[in-house]
Amino acid sequence: MSILEDLSELKNTAQVEIAQAASEQDVTELWTKIFGRKNGQLTAILRSVKELPKEERPKVGQAANEVKETIEQSFEKRRGELYQESLQKRLNSEQVDVTLPGRWAEPGRIHLLSSTMRRIKDIFKGLGYSVMQGPEIETDYYNFEALNIPANHPSRDMWDSFFLREGLLMRSQTSSNQIHVMESQEPPVRVICPGKCYRRDAVDATHFWEFHQVEGLLVDEKVTFADLRGTLELFAKAMFGSRRKTRFNPSYFPFTEPSAEVMVDCFVCDGKGCRVCKNSGWIEIMGSGMVHPKVLKGVGYDPERYTGFAFGMGVERIAMLSCNVDDIRLFYEDDLRFLRQF
């Protein structure tokens, strides 16, 4: 066969093969098969041109160049087609459906205990109280002794505590902060102390070993029980609604004398009697009283000159009452079905 025939055969087969190449890889392989420096089909033909008699070379050379160009054009065309095909495939599969609903990121919310705490704080801040926080790990002195609860005194039963080493304990009441505040400043004192407390209580619907209290303390000259009543009545109305009535029941706390439980008329049944108020028509919301002279003396205040009142409330209890929550454990279970309701 002559070289010219070889060339025309190569041109025909190459064009068929290129048109059939199904991928970029096929194309590259074909290219090497035809143009490869070592073994390429066209390369071999071009090499043999040198062996022809001189006068034949230009004609054959020209024909070879034409074949080369034609094949190159076929490659270019096929590459373009393959690119378009794969682009179309991607466009079809990666399509964005703009009619799909967006993905909703639910915003967080404030835990019911935190929002209750904030409401309590805001009410007292409005009355000119400052806010102070004391340590959660206490000494026996601040948690008991300075609050007129001596060692071995039966009233310690009211605060079953977690004891740590070296006389330290997890505070069982925020009342310990009364002592910290009075030790650090002279009267007049007007402060609330919110914080966590711990007790070795058996867990049930109304008890948990960890809970929150807000303590209040006001000390000045000529403070009377009437001031205590006025302040806590105002608080009860601000917290539970302006129609609420309050009542003060005699009670006992070692660090106050006299002591009183603050009651509000039941806001569930309006005082008629129901499950929440245990048919009494009244709900206890906190403990309170006039600061015991011994406590004032202990921090170096003159009980002849200064008097004061104190109160302490459980934040969980206030939240449960105001939002009709019937189990304290719900606050600590992190169940979104519960938390989302508030």
Shortest distance (Å) from residue 293 CB to ligand DAH: 14
CA dist 306 and 258 (Å) reads: 16
Shortest distance (Å) from residue 325 CB to ligand DAH: 20
Task: Give the binding range for ligand DAH (CB under 6 A) out of 67-75, 187-195, 227-235, 305-313.
Answer: 305-313
DSSP annotation of 106: P
Does position 253 bind ligand DAH by CB under 6 A? yes
- Tell me, what amino acid is at 328? I
Q: List the one residue from 6, 138, 215, 316 that touches ligand DAH (CB under 6 A).
A: 215
Shortest distance (Å) from residue 151 CB to ligand DAH: 18
Does position 175 bind ligand DAH by CB under 6 A? yes
Does position 310 bind ligand DAH by CB under 6 A? yes
CA dist 46 and 105 (Å) reads: 68
Within 8 A by CB and 6+ apart from 297, the residues are 303
Shortest distance (Å) from residue 284 CB to ligand DAH: 11
* 98, containing H or E segment: none
Tally the C-alpha atoms within 13 A of residue 122's C-alpha that lie toward its C-beta. 8
Does position 288 bind ligand DAH by CB under 6 A? yes
CA dist 47 and 244 (Å) reads: 110
* 333, containing H or E segment: none
Does position 307 bind ligand DAH by CB under 6 A? no
Does position 312 bind ligand DAH by CB under 6 A? yes
Supply the angle between the helices 41-49 and 57-93 in degrees, to the nearest 10.
160
DSSP assignment string, 97-143? -TTSPPPP-PPP---HHHHHHHHHHHHHHHTT-EE----SEEEHHHH
Q: List the one residue from 41, 143, 148, 173 that touches ligand DAH (CB under 6 A).
A: 173
Q: Which is nearer to ligand DAH, 7 or 308 (CB)?
A: 308
Task: Give the binding range for ligand DAH (CB under 6 A) out of 115-123, 270-278, 293-301, 304-312.
Answer: 304-312
Structure tokens at 193: 């102390």
Q: Which is nearer to ligand DAH, 75 or 253 (CB)?
A: 253
Q: Which is nearer to ligand DAH, 15 or 155 (CB)?
A: 155
Shortest distance (Å) from residue 316 CB to ligand DAH: 12
Q: Which is nearer to ligand DAH, 7 or 260 (CB)?
A: 260
Shortest distance (Å) from residue 261 CB to ligand DAH: 9
- Tell me, what amino acid is at 55? E
- Are 258 and 266 spatial neighbours (Cβ–Cβ below 8 Å)? no
CA dist 15 and 33 (Å) reads: 13
CA dist 17 and 168 (Å) reads: 89
Q: List the one residue from 187, 194, 195, 287 that touches ligand DAH (CB under 6 A).
A: 287
Q: Which is nearer to ligand DAH, 9 or 160 (CB)?
A: 160
Tally the C-alpha atoms within 13 A of residue 279's C-alpha that lie toward its C-beta. 0
Does position 256 bind ligand DAH by CB under 6 A? yes
Q: Which is nearer to ligand DAH, 74 or 148 (CB)?
A: 148
First to last CA, the chain: 94
Q: List the one residue from 194, 254, 289, 308 that touches ligand DAH (CB under 6 A).
A: 289
User: Which stretches of the chain bind ligand DAH, using CB under 6 A?
Assistant: 173, 175, 215, 253, 256, 287-289, 310-312
